[in-house]
Amino acid sequence: ASAKSSISEDLSIIKKTFKERGTGLLDTVPGAAGGVFFVPE
């Protein structure tokens, strides 16, 4: 298992990269029922 902090760090890097390249939107939803959603542009 990965540490939660490293996963959120990775996600913020991916989020920033996707935004800069116009790849799409990475949306994170916290909580037990949450997750990561990718919305292509």
Distance CA 20, CA 34 (A): 25
What is the reported pLDDT for 2? 66
Model pLDDT, residue 1: 64
Owning domain of residue 35: 4-40
pTM greater than 0.85: no
Number of structural domains the chain divides into:
1
- Length of the chain (residues): 41
On average, the pLDDT of the chain sits at: 88
Task: For residue 1, give the amino acid letter.
Answer: A
Q: pLDDT tens string for the chain (41 positions)?
A: 666 678 888 999 999 999 999 999 999 888 888 899 999 98
Position 20 scores a pLDDT of 96
